[in-house]
Amino acid sequence: VYFMQAWLDRGWLWHAPRQVLESRFRRTGDWSVFQGEAPTIVFAPHFYGLDAGAMALAMAADRRFSTIYTPQANEAVDQWMKVGRARFGDVNLLNRGDGVKPIVASLRKGGLLYLLPDMNFGPEESIFVPFYGVPAATVPSLPRFARLGRAVVVSLVTRITPEGYEIEAKPAWTDYPTDDVLADTA
């Protein structure tokens, strides 16, 4: 049910006027961390509201905003996603196939990176870390980008509500990353 709601909500997320989105978003936490010029990674797990969180961030942040995406097989769907996700703010969609350099360059220029790193891209790119006590494959991109981009990490948690979405900015992480990639990824 939540998956379908999040999918169907893209209709208003990507097409409704700004005031409609603002009326359906409730931002909580300290959003001031997204202002300024400090390289910042916005850690956003693949929850159902990932597009709502990204849209709320793009509308609130007064600076360059990047996110990584994998092109869709259907060209029409791919174009719809790109246009919808980039309609507010200064959004830069980075193609996953282009590698690490544009991602790190964007961070080092003081950009925001909306990162959803909980993916399994196979044995060459993934490592196993505990997930609720079960070993799970995921990419170690969060600590890697934080180190290479000299970036602070802030979690952004998006929840579906009866009115729309609550998007909570958590406090910036301290002492991250460490020298332990496995622990940092977990």
**DSSP-assigned beta bridge partners for residue 76:** none
Give the pLDDT of residue 46: 80
pLDDT of residue 96: 85
Q: How far apart are CA 107 and CA 148, in angstroms?
A: 9
pLDDT at residue number 181: 94
Helix and strand totals (H; E) in the chain = 7, 9
pLDDT of residue 47: 78
Q: What pLDDT is recorded for position 123?
A: 79
Instruction: Kindly provide the b/e burial profile for residues 14-52, where b requires at least 16 CB atoms within 10 angstroms of the residue's own CB.
Output: beeeeeebeebbebebebebbeeebbbbbbbeebbbbbb
Can you give the pLDDT at residue 24? Answer: 98
Q: What is the pLDDT of residue 124?
A: 81
Report mean pLDDT in 10-residue bins for the chain, 186 residues.
92 96 97 93 89 95 89 94 92 88 92 87 86 91 94 96 96 96 93
What's the confidence (pLDDT) of residue 99?
85
Model pLDDT, residue 183: 94
What DSSP state is assigned to residue 109?
T
